[in-house]
Amino acid sequence: MANIIGVRFKKPGKIYFFDPDGKKIEKGSFVIVETSMGKEYGEVVISNRNIPDNKLEKPLKKIIRIANNKDKKQHEENKKKEQEALNICEKKIKEHKLNMTLTDVEYKFDRSKLLFFFTADGRIDFRDLVKDLAAIFKTRIELRQISVRDEVKRLRWQRYVWKRIMLLFIFR
């Protein structure tokens, strides 16, 4: 049996298992973990739980730490910078006359990489766009084409959240 916690990085998103390193971590807490993409800030959606070893992909990575106020502030700053990056990238897409739709932007927690997600009908030559973005943001830039299905899933989640918020205000 292995003690695990489940961490989600985006909503909607896959839940990844991590070793809590002997700490008791409650659902709703935030943690800093090392992933294949670098350090990430994620929400604990499954608190400490024992799972049979045969149900896990080993070895589990340990959490780095429970997020502190400095980490939360950096995460919030990253979210603001992502919105700025989205606006800048959309302008650059128009300047380069590329037939693509920017759908999301994601800064890695330590700002070592900036990912731009987009949809397009076919293949896009965005090499010049990447060069422009790298010069502006001075970090590694990655553009990832996502399917329309992924975009619909994200939009459905946003609609679900807005409906919940509206219901809270109506029944207050």
**What is the DSSP secondary-structure string of 72-84?**
HHHHHHHHHHHHH
pLDDT band at 160 (very low <50, low <70, confident <90, very high): low
Which of 67, 85, 116 delimits the end of a domain? 67
pLDDT band at 89 (very low <50, low <70, confident <90, very high): very high
**Global pTM?**
0.75
- Residue at 77: amino acid letter: E
pLDDT in tens, 37-64: 788 999 999 999 888 888 877 788 889 9
The whole domain housing 113 covers 74-170
CATH number at residue 163: 3.30.300
- Regarding whether 144 and 81 lie in a shared domain, the answer is yes
- Regarding whether 162 and 141 lie in a shared domain, the answer is yes
Domains in the chain, number: 2
What SS3 state is found at 33? strand
- Regarding whether 115 and 59 lie in a shared domain, the answer is no
* Percent of the chain scoring above 70 in pLDDT: 85
Mean pLDDT of 96-122: 91
Which of 22, 48, 67 delimits the end of a domain? 67
